[in-house]
Structure 1
Amino acid sequence: MENNIKINQKNLAEIANRITCPTYNRSAIKTGIVHVGIGGFHRAHEAFYTDELLQNESNTDWGICGVALLDFDTKIYNTLKEQDGLYTLIVKELDGTLTKRVIGSIVEYLFAPENPVKVIEKMASTDVKIITLTITEGGYNYSEAIGGFDFDNPLIQHDLENSQAPKTIFGYLTQALKLRQERGLQGVTIQSCDNIQGNGHMTKKMLLSYVQKAAPQLVSWIEKNVSFPNSMVDRITPATSPIDISNLLKTSGIDDAWPVVCEPFKQWVIEDDFIAGRPAWENVGAQFVEDVVPFELMKLGLLNAGHSVLGILGDLIGYATIDESVNNKEVRAFLTNYMNIEVTPILEGLEGVDLDAYKQSLLQRFGNIYIKDQIDRICSESSAKFPIFILPTVNAQLKRNGSVEFASFVVAAWAIYSLGKNENGQPLLIKDAMKAILNEKAIAAQENPALFLEIATVFGKLKDSEKFVNAYTKAYKNIVKYGVEKCIADINSAI
């Protein structure tokens, strides 16, 4: 398309002639939410819901200040700064059509490494009622081995010694809450939007662990003045590709350096525990409930674990995207059996949820050929994901003396994956904070498969379960001997 136009506030009226744009006055919006971690998922989910609300409501108190926390986040910060916080959300519908709209709810943006004090002051601002987080599973600094906060993390050590120039979320939150206490300000809600069971409980537990060491006088104030609602979030948001950027330019003439692509499905279930007020997100599709736990367990055990199953098995076979993996008949049957036999029996309390319909919808979503969710994205940081997505199912099944055949097979496949090559001998792109130790244990596992289970920060005490170790060892040897596809076909045919 000719007449390409750069996305920014000045050009918004012209862009509105081409695609849907915010109709509210962005300059009149106050920042009521600070969000840490302004990646694709936040921009397809919370920022989307908030944009919908600002479009439909007269309340102007709930703009978002996006905080880029890490040096790694320089690019997204610079992009949002150049585009006045605006970006295009591209929804890839199941029939291949693209629904495009500009999102305007991020009205401020800060780069923490450049000016940590400014971020701390913003979090302590009287207008800010909620601090939300998407910092990934690993960002909570939880160690499976000790069942608590990892004080050996060098970044945590840095924050304890450099309180005014922190590098982790815990350093920032502690200093901001300290300012609120010292200034006699009201409390704030800290809301996790990450895929962690009991994400609110986890956030509170990890923050208080840090505060007890960094600023013990703050603990009782936090207990009284800060709420930590649990929430369950869901929307598949693959990494934006150069093709997505050029297609937007070609079809709409919109020059957006970092649009976000996502699926049409979205879900947000939130515990209604906001100490300083909240947006009426329920008016735009979010669901407020008393207890999020059953919904979390359903989503983590079925969707997130399902992603990991498809990712690890698909990568070993040689696939590049999740849709390729799930559209393999045997992989699809294996995942279906895993969901039905091992996950479903441990789910309860899901009133009003049709589990069979939910599982069918997952297969449909995974199979969306237009999403092209890259397997290496899904497999990234598996060492943080397995303890949250898959191992709770294993432990629950061991407790009830149920099946662990499918989960143990996936763990065995992960051990072989961690050697760094697929079954065709091609190198795998492994992105994991624990890549070196995973590889070291994977090499040792070639002689004795059970050695991979000795990574206590991931597996806890699972190596002590004879039932699991036997199932895992059998699966490992079979994969080495016959390959993934033959093994899963045999497991499926035995059902």
Structure 2
Amino acid sequence: MPGYNPAELGCGIVHIGIGNFHRAHQAVYVDEILRRCGGDWRITAVSLRNPDMRDRMQSQNCLYTLCERSADTESMRVVGAVAKVLVAPESPAAVVEALAAESTRVVTATVTEKGYCLKPGGRALDLAHPDIEHDIRHPATPKTLHGFLLAACRLRRARGLPGFNLLSCDNLPDNGALLRDCLLTAARLQDSGLARWMEQHIGFCSTMVDCMVPATSEAIAEGIQGRAGYRDTACLLSENFRQWVIEDNFVAPSPDWRSVGVSVVADVAPYERMKLRLLNGSHSALAFFGALQGYTYIYEAAADPQIRNFVRLLMQREVLPTLQPLPDVDLERYCNTLLARFSNPSVPYTCQQVASDSTQKLPQRILAPALEQVERGREIPLLSAVVAAWIAYIFLGSFSQQCFPLNDAGAQQLVDMLKRQKAQKAFPTQDHVTALLTHAGIVPARLLRSESFTSTIREQLERLVVGGGEKLLKELTEKTR
């Protein structure tokens, strides 16, 4: 059980985008702080879309069971950090009031990459996005993360209240600065004075977060409830590894993050790059090649000797050279730890879950290190193969008996192009691949100008579509030993 009386503690944190990851990560760190130190740091959580999480948690006072598993151990705990869940579409005003409350000192967000409403492949706010257009024109009835934060800051300024610490917890490079730039862009279109106030009173903190949290299937939920001995409509599963690195850019009081193992540092960027490129990039590679080889789960793909060897060489040969040394991290050991975590059958991530929204994920996970290596004049057959596998995943998922559900709105224009190209006898040609990569809108222009990069992807894509991944993986791993 939590080890404290949740009803005796007030709220000091608002979290936007409550889902399984937040409940297995940030909320657990807060739960540990409340257990050790007390304080009014419970969480008011916000769902930006639907009432599902609120409905599952509300009937049990927002308590829920977290089951943490390694390959051979298991532990369970009841988390009491979340005080209530608000549903934004039902009551936007209640969300704004929670954010603008004097007691709110920290705001965290996990809205996934697409929740930032960015231009494709870039770091600028998409002002043509319909929800962003709405929030700029109708500031009293926001829909997006940006709109709610702007409305709250406007209200805090009007009431003469101080600002808060704003922590972006999504898998985007320099996520705090990115959120700051997006918010200030939108604020200037509404009120230049508000933008200046935010620059002075909001502590934009970048973070790096890490914990593998699969979707809660019916079987997972039944297993947890059976072992716990009670009904829990909000239970979930995670691995027993958790990491959080926060940029020390605070302007308001904060919980004692360090007391529960959070790293508070001056610069998060090296940790972000390490995690995005090694963990998330490898995760995407496992998802694409695993699905193409007929595997359902990531741990199955990680157990395949050829895929596992490919991922190991990808990290060692083409990704590690793009990272700077960290004083407290052994990067080689980190890579070995990742392979062990990926192989954990107790945390059943599906390949399809990891492959979802790949147009939002690949720029920072795969294309950024690819560009750095190409600009250094280095060959990148392994990084190129991940891009080829992504296109093959879209192609075979759309036009073969495998039929992977893409769950990626950004890939629809590629599906449409592939439909047209599939009818042509010669596929894929160099022109096909260049057109696909260009219209994806996520590949840097400097990479597109590399004939070696595009021709390598064309050759690899052809082999994946015609002969599958096994032979290509074998040749790639033999060549790079």
TM-score (norm 1): 0.92
Looking at structure 1, the residues matched to 349 and 399 of structure 2 have their Cα atoms a distance apart, in angstroms, of 21
Looking at structure 2, the residues matched to 209 and 104 of structure 1 have their Cα atoms a distance apart, in angstroms, of 37
User: Are 2:54 and 1:88 aligned?
Assistant: no
Cα distance 1:259–1:221, how it changes in 2: closer, same or farther (>3 A)? same
Q: Which of 26, 29, 36 is 2:9 aligned to?
A: 29
Please tell me whether the aligned partners of residues 323 and 369 of structure 1 are also in contact (alpha carbons under 8 angstroms): yes
User: Are 2:32 and 1:47 aligned?
Assistant: no
Please tell me whether the aligned partners of residues 245 and 268 of structure 2 are also in contact (alpha carbons under 8 angstroms): yes
User: Are 2:473 and 1:493 aligned?
Assistant: no
Looking at structure 2, the residues matched to 138 and 416 of structure 1 have their Cα atoms a distance apart, in angstroms, of 23
Q: Per-residue displacement from partner, 1:107-161 (whole Å, max 9, x unpaired)?
A: 1221111000110011000000111000001111121456511111111122122
> Post-superposition shift, 1:352?
2.4
Q: Which residue of 2 aligns with 1:119?
A: 95
User: Are 2:209 and 1:233 aligned?
Assistant: yes
Looking at structure 1, the residues matched to 329 and 152 of structure 2 have their Cα atoms a distance apart, in angstroms, of 39
Q: Which residue of 1 aligns with 2:119?
A: 143
Q: Which of 448, 466, 470 is 1:481 aligned to?
A: 466
SS in structure 1 of the partner of residue 56 of structure 2: helix
SS in structure 1 of the partner of residue 395 of structure 2: coil
Q: Which of 105, 110, 115 is 1:134 aligned to?
A: 110
SS in structure 2 of the partner of residue 167 of structure 1: coil
Looking at structure 1, the residues matched to 348 and 109 of structure 2 have their Cα atoms a distance apart, in angstroms, of 26
Q: Which residue of 2 aligns with 1:362?
A: 338
Looking at structure 2, the residues matched to 146 and 493 of structure 1 have their Cα atoms a distance apart, in angstroms, of 35
Looking at structure 2, the residues matched to 404 and 81 of structure 1 have their Cα atoms a distance apart, in angstroms, of 50
> Post-superposition shift, 1:455?
2.4
Q: May I ask how many residue pairs the two structures share in their alignment?
A: 471
SS in structure 1 of the partner of residue 150 of structure 2: helix
**Structure 2 residues not aligned, in runs of 5+:** 422-426
Q: Which residue of 2 aligns with 1:428?
A: 404
Q: Which residue of 2 aligns with 1:251?
A: 227
> Post-superposition shift, 1:457?
2.9
TM-score (norm 2): 0.95
Please tell me whether the aligned partners of residues 398 and 415 of structure 2 are also in contact (alpha carbons under 8 angstroms): no
Worse-matched range after superposition: 40-49 or 454-463: 454-463
User: Are 2:446 and 1:465 aligned?
Assistant: no
**Structure 1 residues not aligned, in runs of 5+:** 1-20
> Post-superposition shift, 1:475?
1.2
Opposite residue 39 of structure 1, the aligned amino acid is G
User: Are 2:134 and 1:158 aligned?
Assistant: yes
Looking at structure 1, the residues matched to 293 and 53 of structure 2 have their Cα atoms a distance apart, in angstroms, of 33
Identity %: 35
Please tell me whether the aligned partners of residues 90 and 261 of structure 1 are also in contact (alpha carbons under 8 angstroms): yes
Q: Per-residue displacement from partner, 1:235-276 (whole Å, max 9, x unpaired)?
A: 000111111111122222221112121001111111111110
Q: Which of 386, 389, 394 is 1:418 aligned to?
A: 394
Cα distance 1:149–1:423, how it changes in 2: closer, same or farther (>3 A)? closer
Q: Which residue of 1 aligns with 2:435?
A: 451
Opposite residue 11 of structure 2, the aligned amino acid is T
> Post-superposition shift, 1:420?
4.6
Opposite residue 436 of structure 2, the aligned amino acid is F
Give the aligned CA root-mean-square deviation in angstroms: 1.6
Please tell me whether the aligned partners of residues 318 and 422 of structure 1 are also in contact (alpha carbons under 8 angstroms): no
SS in structure 1 of the partner of residue 76 of structure 2: strand
> Post-superposition shift, 1:75?
0.8
User: Are 2:44 and 1:65 aligned?
Assistant: yes
Looking at structure 1, the residues matched to 330 and 70 of structure 2 have their Cα atoms a distance apart, in angstroms, of 23
SS in structure 2 of the partner of residue 458 of structure 1: coil
Q: Per-residue displacement from partner, 1:66-108 (whole Å, max 9, x unpaired)?
A: 00111xx32111112122111100001221x421110000012
Cα distance 1:423–1:141, how it changes in 2: closer, same or farther (>3 A)? closer
Please tell me whether the aligned partners of residues 50 and 62 of structure 1 are also in contact (alpha carbons under 8 angstroms): yes
Q: Per-residue displacement from partner, 1:222-243 (whole Å, max 9, x unpaired)?
A: 1110111111100000111111
SS in structure 2 of the partner of residue 397 of structure 1: helix
Q: Per-residue displacement from partner, 1:34-73 (whole Å, max 9, x unpaired)?
A: 0001100000000000001101113x22110000111xx3
> Post-superposition shift, 1:464?
2.2
Q: Which residue of 1 aligns with 2:424?
A: none
Opposite residue 378 of structure 1, the aligned amino acid is V
Please tell me whether the aligned partners of residues 221 and 236 of structure 2 are also in contact (alpha carbons under 8 angstroms): no
Worse-matched range after superposition: 465-474 or 482-491: 465-474
> Post-superposition shift, 1:456?
5.0
Looking at structure 1, the residues matched to 420 and 307 of structure 2 have their Cα atoms a distance apart, in angstroms, of 28
